[in-house]
Amino acid sequence: MNFIVSVADESHEKFAKEITEEIFISAQERHTGIAKRTPEYLIEKIRAGKAVIATTEDGQFAGFSYIESWGGKSYVANSGLIVAHRFRGQGLSRKIKEQTFILSRKLFPDAKIFSISTGGAVMRLNYEFGFRPVPFSELTTDPEFWKGCEGCRNYDILQRNNQERCICTGLLYDPFDRITIKTPDEQK
């Protein structure tokens, strides 16, 4: 099946409720701690040009993701990656993640991009894009970001650990953190 993956615009606002329902159902099925988001919150992201949506050629919702900046725009979170159940297993999450990453780099070229996740598929995708696992201390310290975790079923774990650890894994892409490895011949 062919999908259209693009930056979401106001014509996609009609999918906000369906997206939040899909995220909620997925979290329940996987017993993961995805923080709840409202349709209004997703509409804000869409209107700000900070969301990526996938639709079918005939206009059905297929997948979604959004970005949010934190810490004075020095950090950007890639969040809410979801693929509608009926379209899973077709490589769509990779296409959405790729466009979300491109959008993050375009809007915030010097920002560190991060994600927190319990999902193995999301972690693998992030690794492919150059993210690395990090302790939460390397993520944004912006209290508003961490406030977003309050809707997560595992929030008590995060609180008990002074926001240093939870069930999620922190993943970070730093555009300036590149290791250059030289062969012995190049070191001469």
Average of pLDDT values for 92-111? 95
pTM: 0.84
Query: Do 83 and 95 meet the contact criterion of CB atoms below 8 Å apart?
Result: no
Amino acid 69: pLDDT: 92
| Rounded (10°) CA dihedral 154, 157, 158, 162 | 170
Within-domain flag for 184: no
Closest CA to 116 of 128, 93, 134: 134
Q: Give a yes or no: residue 182 inside a domain.
A: no
| Nearest of 45, 88, 40, 89 to residue 65 by alpha carbon | 45
Cα(169)–Cα(171) distance, integer angstroms: 6
How many domains would you assign to the chain? 1
Average pLDDT over residues 70-91: 92
pLDDT computed for residue 144 by the predictor: 84
Choose the weakest-confidence range: 47-51, 95-99, 127-131. Answer: 127-131
Confidence of residue 117 (pLDDT cuts 50, 70, 90): confident
For 114-128, what is the mean pLDDT? 87
> Which pLDDT band holds residue 178 (cuts at 50, 70, 90)?
low
Residue 156 has pLDDT above 80, yes or no: yes
* CATH assignment of the domain containing 121: 3.40.630.30
Is residue 172 in a domain? Answer: yes
Report yes or no: 97 and 7 within 8 Å, Cβ to Cβ: no
Is residue 58 domain-resident? yes
Question: How far apart are alpha carbons 99 and 50 in whole angstroms?
Answer: 11
Average pLDDT taken over every residue of the chain: 89
pLDDT at 163: 84
pLDDT at 32: 64
Q: Are 59 and 29 in contact (CB under 8 A)?
A: no
Contact 120, 128 (CB under 8 A): no
Q: Is the pLDDT of residue 179 over 90?
A: no
Residue 185: pLDDT over 80: no
Asked if residue 25 belongs to a domain, the reply is yes
Give dist(CA 9, CA 166) in Å, integer: 34
Length of the chain counted residue by residue: 188
Distance of alpha carbon 146 from alpha carbon 26, whole angstroms: 21
Q: Is residue 188 part of a domain?
A: no
Say if 118 falls within a structural domain: yes
Query: Would residue 164 count as lying in a domain?
Result: yes
The mean pLDDT value for 130-142 works out to 91
pLDDT band, residue 187 (cuts 50/70/90): low
Least confident of 41-55, 69-83, 169-183: 169-183
b/e 147-171 (16+ beta carbons within 10 angstroms → b): ebbeebebbeebeeeebeebebbbb
Gap between the Cα atoms of 160 and 175, Å rounded: 32
- Residue 53 domain boundaries: 3-177
